[in-house]
Structure 1
Amino acid sequence: MKTDFTSIPVVDIAGLSGTAEEKATVVEALATAAQDVGFMHVTGHGLDPALFDALLAQTKRFFDQPLDEKMKVYIGNSTNHRGYVPQGEEVFSAGSKDLKEAYDLSRDLPATDPEYLAGNPLLGPNQWPDDAAFRQVVNAYYNAVFQVGCRLMGGFALALGLEENAFESRLTRPPSQLRLIHYPYDPSAHDAAGIGAHTDYECFTLLRSTAPGLEVMNQKGEWVDAPPVENAFVVNTGDMLELLSGGRFIATSHRVRKVAEERYSFPLFFSLDYHVRVQPVVPVADGLPAQSLVAGEHLAAQTMQTFNYLKQRVAEGRISLPESHVGLSVFGQEARHGRRGVSIQ
């Protein structure tokens, strides 16, 4: 892997729907970006820019409401991690509270879904505010971006020497979460974390944001700015893709630096189905152990270690971490640099 990247590459994925030669060019670019950087700006995705404009307008309207109104859909009211996240609710492994608020949702399954009724911690219905326009726009954006994720997953499958549809059967109803995140304007802001350093738990993330602030750790342990590109997704590899690729595509440590300007961010975390066992599909890189995890259990465990309301439920014995859980930040560059004395077990 390279150790000195100073910018984020741009990958045009339009060719994934083109000729065999065009597809091969895109797959090579995806593999290079995932292996050398772990972050990329993805263009050629085909989404109508009006979808994002509508999402941004509805998101601003939601967060502009009084706190009491937003707390009517507080995430702690749910049993499957859906709803409003107030500032200070989420704490990453560094221990600092994040300076943001959010609204979290996922695939909107019915309340009669058997998994939800059985107590699955991530599957089921969303907790929606009483706002039909908000619900319609957010759902439309979620569904469109999820389809982009499916195309990307096919590209990564090809990059690993598999058939393009190799993961299709494991993407039937995944707990792929969309977050609407708001960083308020702060004229006194200094260079402090808005979201603490972490890797994303899923295969990869598709992110749109309205302002700079995102930083990526390179292989030297240096932080590199990843400002937004017009009508492009920032895509970064996560824990599951690191496992699937045998360590070839490393989960990339990143953080959000605190900036003065108001900022909105929209990551969709693309996961495999809840019960899928994630393990290497290619030979494991030298120096890394062969490891596996269950997709949904990994997401649930990491979430339980991050959100205050879930940590309280664990402390009270109302819920339990999966037996196979791992700690926070055991993937990615920070773990490999040993910054917190952790290692992949």
Structure 2
Amino acid sequence: MTTRQPTAFESIPAIDIAPLFGSDVQAQQATAEALGRAAREVGFFYVINHGISEARQQALFDQTKRLFELPLQRKMDYYIGKSDNHRGYVPAGEEAPDPSKADAKEAFDLSFELPDDHPEVRAGTPMMGANVWPDIDGFADDVYAYYQDVFAVGRALMGGFEQALGLEANTLLGEVTEPPSQLRLIHYPYDPNAQDAQGIGAHTDYECFTLLRPTAPGLEVMNGAGEWVDVPYRDDALVVNIGDMLEIWTNGAFVATSHRVRKVKEERYSFPLFFAADYHSQVAPLPQLLKDGETPNYEPLSAGDHLWAQTIQTFNYLKKRLADGEIELPDGARGAGTLGQHARHKDEA
């Protein structure tokens, strides 16, 4: 199978996306073209002038710090394994994208909020429903306000990708109305004994793309030569990386780029929004992006089933439910880490 590889880049481009929120058509097109180049050649880039206020971000940081400062016993009251839709507190060691290496972090997971009487919730669709909110004053309001802001940035980026690909409006945006797009609040505790090494194992993200707000350095991305490139910390930017679903939709033109986080001594926080397609969206190479006679490089997949299958294969509490027969992998589920650039490098090794 032939798919585009990222170039042997040595740095990460920064793109001013303010025009995506304005009315200047030429500026919008120029921004879309810049997004397209970055998605094809690197798969990773910064976006600046994204419109999320410093006050909104600071409220997110403050509430997250309050949560993770709670005693472990209190945090476990909100343990994700107690939920029926994959929301809540994730203790250290609960997940491992690389099954041979446990991640050195704790997290809190939330997603698109749906009421109990929503048809998807009533149908028992995985990962859909209400969030689990800690009993911390203002936490739900502040954190979900950030979620709504960063989700709006994601929709603006998806519109830019449509333009970059020459697609009609809503070709992709029409597939992101009420998706299981997860926001993770991640805490890397101070570790005086840490050596500069892996913190989160190398992986690509399952969804369309990720919008990350880190608070410190440590992120690395793999270039087309298989070399790890540092992603310097910027407090004025969100870091965006292409995920599996957008790679499939573009038949490999956009690159789902491998990345990892170094394990270092300093305490850090990280806030990724995994921008997903709607649960029942069918993701396959778009016919309008294929040349005459070109064969698609990817088999179709169900967006939600793919995300749910990968999640089951990553979290220990879900692995146990699977082993106990309480849940099943969706039909046609792919193995963990079988898509994207990292999988290709493993196949070539």
**TM-score grouping bracket, smaller chain normalisation:** over 0.9
- The AA in structure 2 aligned to 1:325 is A
Equivalent residue for 1:75, pick from 77, 80, 92: 80
Equivalent residue for 2:92, pick from 77, 87, 90: 87
The 1:307–1:94 alpha-carbon spacing in structure 2 relative to 1, beyond 3 Å, is: closer
CA distance in 2, matches of 1:217, 1:286: 28
Name the structure 2 match of 1:117.
Answer: 122
Name the structure 2 match of 1:179.
Answer: 184
Name the structure 2 match of 1:310.
Answer: 318
Give the alignment of 1:27-42 within 5 angstroms: 27-42=32-47
- Write the deviation string for residues 179-227 of structure 1: whole angstroms up to 9, x where unpaired: 0000001122113221111110111000001111111011111111112
Give yes or no for the alignment of 1:329 onto 2:337: yes
Give yes or no for the alignment of 1:168 onto 2:173: yes
Deviates more, 1:202-211 or 1:182-191: 182-191
Unaligned 5+ runs, structure 1: none
Give yes or no for the alignment of 1:210 onto 2:218: no
Give the alignment of 1:33-72 within 5 angstroms: 33-72=38-77
Give the alignment of 1:1-345 within 5 angstroms: 1-16=5-20, 17-281=22-286, 282-283=289-290, 289-339=297-347
CA distance in 1, matches of 2:7, 2:42: 9
CA distance in 1, matches of 2:232, 2:294: 33
Distance apart, 1:339 and its partner CA:
4.9
**TM-score normalized with structure 1 length:** 0.95
Distance apart, 1:53 and its partner CA:
0.6
Distance apart, 1:340 and its partner CA:
7.8
The 1:222–1:288 alpha-carbon spacing in structure 2 relative to 1, beyond 3 Å, is: farther
Deviates more, 1:278-287 or 1:44-53: 278-287
CA distance in 2, matches of 1:72, 1:324: 35
CA distance in 2, matches of 1:309, 1:290: 30
- The AA in structure 2 aligned to 1:308 is N
Equivalent residue of 2:84, what SS? coil
- The AA in structure 1 aligned to 2:210 is T
- Write the deviation string for residues 233-275 of structure 1: whole angstroms up to 9, x where unpaired: 0000000000111100011111111011101000000011100
Deviates more, 1:100-109 or 1:277-286: 277-286
**Is 1:247–1:288's contact at 8 Å kept on the other side of the alignment?**
no
The aligned length equals 341
Distance apart, 1:288 and its partner CA:
6.4
**Is 2:16–2:31's contact at 8 Å kept on the other side of the alignment?**
yes
CA distance in 1, matches of 2:134, 2:346: 43
**Is 2:285–2:296's contact at 8 Å kept on the other side of the alignment?**
no
Following superposition, which runs of at least 4 residues in structure 1 exceed 4 angstroms of deviation? Answer: 284-288
- Write the deviation string for residues 285-311 of structure 1: whole angstroms up to 9, x where unpaired: 989623211111111000000000000
CA distance in 2, matches of 1:334, 1:152: 24
**TM-score normalized with structure 2 length:** 0.94
Distance apart, 1:2 and its partner CA:
4.9
Equivalent residue of 2:15, what SS? strand
CA distance in 1, matches of 2:256, 2:63: 31
**Is 1:89–1:309's contact at 8 Å kept on the other side of the alignment?**
yes
- Write the deviation string for residues 153-174 of structure 1: whole angstroms up to 9, x where unpaired: 0000111111233223222211
**Is 1:208–1:228's contact at 8 Å kept on the other side of the alignment?**
no
RMSD: 1.7
CA distance in 1, matches of 2:52, 2:258: 27
CA distance in 2, matches of 1:290, 1:98: 30
- The AA in structure 1 aligned to 2:179 is P
Deviates more, 1:230-239 or 1:277-286: 277-286
Equivalent residue of 1:322, what SS? coil
**Is 2:290–2:296's contact at 8 Å kept on the other side of the alignment?**
no
The 1:340–1:255 alpha-carbon spacing in structure 2 relative to 1, beyond 3 Å, is: farther
CA distance in 2, matches of 1:274, 1:160: 23
CA distance in 2, matches of 1:307, 1:173: 23
